Every structure is written in C-alpha cells, then in structure tokens.
Structure 1
Amino acid sequence: MRADARKNRDHLLAVAGAAIAEQGVDVSLRDIARRAGVGLATLLRHFPTREALLEALLHTSFEELTAKADRVETSGSPEDALVSWLRDCVGWTTEYRGVTVLMAAAIEDTESALHASCVTLRAAGTRLLTRAQAAGSARTDIDGTDLFALIAALAWLGDQPSLAPRADHLFDVVASAILTSEGLDRRTDVSHGR
C-alpha cells in the first residue's frame, strides 16, 4: 500500500473509532466519511462494508486480547488468568458501544468479516476456561460459547447508563458464578497473602 493510501486509511480508522465510541456501531458510514473530510465513496473504497471497517478497526484489539490470553495462561493461576482475561475483554467491549451484538452474530456467520477474529477470541477464552476447569477452579457445565455470551451480557450492562455504576459489582458476581468454591478460595487466599 502506498504511503498516502496508508495515511488516508489510518485517518479513516481513527475517525471511525472516535465516532463508534461516541455513537455506537450503528453510526452512519456517511457521518464517518463526513467527519473524516472525505466522500462516502472514498470510505467505501477502503472499507466496502460496515463489517470490513469494524474488522480493520478492531483487529488490533482482537490480537491484543488473544495475546493476553496466551500470556496469562502461563503466568498465573488458572482462576486468576481466566478472571483477568475476562475483565479485560469486558472492559474492551465497552469502548465500542454495540460491538458485542455484531460479534455474537459474526461468530455464527462464516461470511462475516469479523468471523475469524471472533472465533479466535472465543478460542482464547475457551483455552483459559478449560485450563481452570481442569484445575477444579471453574464450573464444568459451561463452555467457550457460554463465556463469550457472558462477556456480551456484561458489556451490555456497561452500555446502560442506569446500570453502568453497578457493572464492576456485577462482573464480580458473574466471575464468582463461573469459579468453583475451590477457585474462589485460592483467589481469596492469594489476595489475603496466605
């Protein structure tokens, strides 16, 4: 890609990121183009669909969350790794209002531009969950799909102005429901220095 084309693409992504953070994933593509100071045709030449724009915008974040799963998988206890990664995922999803709805749809739609990234992200979470389950730290009646759904539910809570102040408390409630009493005891022992 030529340097000027790369610069234009990066500018479009920066403007799109700000617009989506403010208005959510349903923000008008025409509005994004206007804010970027280009025509809609220019935006569509770089990103032919909304999903293609979102994939380009979110790709780095997906990679970072997947890499984080790899790091915490080997560096901490199974329960701490799972909860830490889960918290980061939920925190990230609240940056872009409505993104979890698209992610939930994309994971089932193999034609979606977001499909591969969502599948990779779910697989990373599944690995952490499976590791915690093998250690007796997490419930065995949930799977990666359930974990992905819980991330979406927690992100939705953060998107609701009346519930946002309770989001941290509700995250702790959900994390406690995922972990077994053994996993909770180990987390408590570590946090109390035992």
Structure 2
Amino acid sequence: MPEHQRADARRNYARILAVAEEEVAAHGAAASLEQIARTAGVGSATVRRHFPTRHALLEAVSHQRIEALSDRARELTGRGDSRDALLEWLGEVVAYSATARGLAAALAYDVPDPVHENSCAAMLEAAAAPLLDRAVRDGAVPAEVTFTDLITLIVGIVLATEHRPDPAAADRLFRLAVAGLSPLTGGRPR
C-alpha cells in the first residue's frame, strides 16, 4: 500500500486486509468480497479500490507466506545436492499451499487480467531461480522444465486435494509426480 495515502485510507486497507486474512483462512479463495467489506465496516467499492481483483486480494493476504517461502529458497541455494535442495523447497511450497487456504489460487498463472502481474509467483520465481538453474546445470532436472511448470504442477495438486480429508494427500501426489509411476529397480525407474 502506498505510504502517500491518507491516514483513513491506510486504516481501511489494514482493516480490509485483516478481515480478508480471516475470511480466506475460513473460506479459501472463494471468500466473499461483500462479507469482507461488511465485516471491515467499509463499502464494497472501498474494497475494490484497494484490491481491484480477487487475485490482488489473495496476493496481499498471501504476501507474508510468499516472503517466507522466498527466504527459504535463498537458504537452500547452494546447499547439498541441487535436486534435493529444489525438491525440499518445492515440498515446502506444497505443504504451505495445502495448509494456507488461498495461497494456491494466488500462485495460479491463469489470471485473466494481464495488466496485473502475478506478484506472488514473480517473487517466488526470483528467489527460486538459482535453485532451478543449479539443478538444470547439474543435469538433475531436464533443461526444458520451467519455474512456471513447477508452480503449475503444485497449484494443480493443491487445488485438486484441498477438499480431501487427508491432509497428506497433496504431499503424496507431489511425491508421486516427482517419482513417476515406474517402480524403482536398483535406484532407477524401469
């Protein structure tokens, strides 16, 4: 939120964001913008002024989580085996996205509004690029794999499992995607 805004606009923004965090935690990405406005004590136009799209609201709600995941990517950069470091980080993104309702939707690239860049995904991409680049350089990941591919895979898994009663379903599907369906013989897929 720009610092040059009036004090009442900053207060409204903070109140809307606090209510939105609660609503998204309770209802996920489908949280009602009207309910957020009512609970925050502002009009829906005020919500739209601060957050012109639902995606912009989800990004704001997810910002701290994205910063934590970005910090973690930087911590893992250059550590140990490049494939293991990348998979450890991706596993953490899956776990975080599966427990933080609305985060997977904030990371999705299918935003129909090309004017507003996906800042959540852009932040993660900037932090994780060294992890992916190193894994590609080491031959641990095929060169054609992109960050967008990896986030799309994670978003798909998380959205497909978000209503399952088993909290480990997203991680299990992610591990399956990483391992593939081929049984291992001597450490290599058949």
Do the two structures share a fold, i.e. TM-score over 0.5?
Answer: yes
Alignment deviations for residues 15-43 of structure 1 (CA, whole Å, 9 cap, x no partner): 10121122222222111112223332332
- Aligned partner of 1:131 among 107, 131, 134: 134
- Aligned partner of 1:93 among 80, 97, 108: 97
What does 1:24-173 correspond to in 2, within 5 Å? 24-94=28-98, 95-97=100-102, 99-100=104-105, 103-106=108-111, 110-112=114-116, 114-161=117-164, 164-173=167-176
What does 1:8-23 correspond to in 2, within 5 Å? 8-23=12-27
> Judging changes above 3 Å, is the alpha-carbon distance between structure 1 residues 65 and 165 closer, same or farther for their aligned structure 2 residues?
closer
> Judging changes above 3 Å, is the alpha-carbon distance between structure 1 residues 121 and 76 closer, same or farther for their aligned structure 2 residues?
same
1:24 match: secondary structure = helix
Runs (5+) with no aligned partner, structure 2: none
When structure 1 is superposed on structure 2, of 86-95 and 165-174 the one drifting more is 165-174
Query: 1:52: Cα distance to partner?
Result: 2.9
1:174 is the counterpart of 2:177:
yes
Q: Is the 8 A contact 1:69 1:85 kept in 2?
A: yes
2:29 match: secondary structure = coil
Q: Is the 8 A contact 1:109 1:115 kept in 2?
A: no
Residue type of the partner of 2:86? L
> Judging changes above 3 Å, is the alpha-carbon distance between structure 1 residues 109 and 121 closer, same or farther for their aligned structure 2 residues?
farther
Distance in 2 (alpha carbons) for counterparts of 1:28 and 1:170 = 30
Alignment deviations for residues 79-122 of structure 1 (CA, whole Å, 9 cap, x no partner): 2221121022122322124743762213x85412x424323423
Q: Is the 8 A contact 1:133 1:139 kept in 2?
A: yes
Residue type of the partner of 1:148? I
Percent identity for Structure 1 against Structure 2: 36
Query: 1:74: Cα distance to partner?
Result: 2.6
Alignment deviations for residues 54-77 of structure 1 (CA, whole Å, 9 cap, x no partner): 232223333332232122113343
TM-score for both structures, normalised by structure 2: 0.74
> Judging changes above 3 Å, is the alpha-carbon distance between structure 1 residues 74 and 105 closer, same or farther for their aligned structure 2 residues?
same
TM-score for both structures, normalised by structure 1: 0.73
Runs (5+) with no aligned partner, structure 1: 186-194
